[in-house]
Amino acid sequence: MERIIMHYDMDAFYASIEINRNPKLKNKPLVVGENIVTTASYEARKYGIHSAMKVSDAKLLCPKLIVIPVDKTEYIRISNEIHNLIFKITNKVEFVATDEGYIDLTDIIRPENKKILL
């Protein structure tokens, strides 16, 4: 039997958490990081800002950029909540980062739906 593996990656995970915590940040260019950009919101990406660039360079690209310090404890807490939700579906999962993993859906997808996926 062929296995069905789903990959998930929550893009801009840290930025999304910060926007959820403070809805006034929605639709504003922001980065999470201190000296280096850990993640950038979609609005910040429109200015060419991306992960691993210096925050000082990002501010040159977008002078109104909002910089939020990393809150690793909160990101791990939210990640653990998501992991617990996944474990309610299956324990056949491999987490590769706080916001990314692989889920084996082979035993979950009904046989009649498998042909649609393949």
Distance, CA of 79 to CA of 91 (rounded, Å) = 16
Q: Which residues are catalytic?
A: 100
Amino acid identity of 63? P
For each of the domains in the chain, give its residue range(s) and CATH number, in order of start.
5-117 (3.40.1170.60)
Q: Tokens 């889920």 — which residue?
A: 103
What is the tens place of the pLDDT at every residue in 71-112? 999 999 999 999 999 999 899 999 999 999 999 998 888 666
- Do residues 28 and 41 make contact, with C-beta atoms less than 8 angstroms apart? yes
Distance, CA of 90 to CA of 102 (rounded, Å) = 11
pLDDT band for 63, please (50, 70, 90 cuts): very high
Q: Which residue has the higher pLDDT, 112 or 36?
A: 36
Answer whether 0.95 is exceeded by the pTM.
no
Q: Which of 46, 47, 12, 44 is nearest to 29 (CA)?
A: 44
